[in-house]
């Protein structure tokens, strides 16, 4: 299980509000707070699905198997003593790859266009599924 302990404020996001608004073709300021929330949500999903750190954050992680070899999100440095559970680690991101920045913009566009849990013609919004999937617990 992976749990976020602390993260850098939104000013450190790999995609800026101006870049997201340009991508969305939004010229007003009425939705700025909403768009900033979508940027953070999109970045979190991209990090969890790729395992690539995009902002500095501290996590507590309990590996599923003993003798874990790598962190679930990298690059990072382990802060806890060897053998301690949960493992506390801090991500140390470098420059974000262009492909992951583009993925964040695409996810922000999807979230902005599909703001409701249900979409006409569908029983559930696919964006909702994609956002919650990394957090779902699968039980045997």
Cα radius of gyration (the chain) = 17
Q: Which two tokens stand for residue 106?
A: 């695409």
Segments making up each domain of the chain, as ranges: 2-135
Q: Which of 43-47, 67-71, 112-116 comes out lowest in average pLDDT?
A: 67-71
CA distance 93 to 74: 8
Read off the pTM: 0.79
Mean pLDDT of the chain: 83
Q: Which residues pair with 89 in a beta bridge?
A: 59, 78
Half-sphere exposure of 20 (CA within 13 A, CB side): 30
Q: Which residues pair with 3 in a beta bridge?
A: 60
What pLDDT, in 10s, does the model give residues 80-114? 988 888 889 998 898 899 999 999 999 999 889 88
What pLDDT, in 10s, does the model give residues 33-45? 999 999 999 998 8
């Amino acid at each position: 299980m992976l749990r976020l302990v602390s993260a850098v404020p939104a000013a450190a996001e790999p995609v800026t509000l101006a870049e997201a608004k340009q991508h969305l073709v939004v010229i007003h300021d009425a939705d700025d707070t909403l768009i900033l929330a979508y940027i953070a949500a999109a970045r979190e999903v991209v990090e969890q699905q790729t395992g690539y750190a995009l902002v500095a954050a501290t996590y507590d992680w309990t590996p599923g198997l003993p003798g874990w070899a790598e962190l679930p999100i990298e690059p990072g440095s382990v802060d806890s003593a060897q053998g301690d559970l949960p493992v506390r680690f801090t991500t140390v991101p470098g420059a974000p790859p262009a492909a992951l920045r583009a993925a964040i913009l695409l996810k922000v566009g999807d979230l902005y266009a599909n703001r409701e849990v249900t979409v006409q013609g569908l029983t559930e919004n696919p964006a909702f599924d994609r956002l919650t999937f990394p957090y779902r617990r699968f039980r045997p």
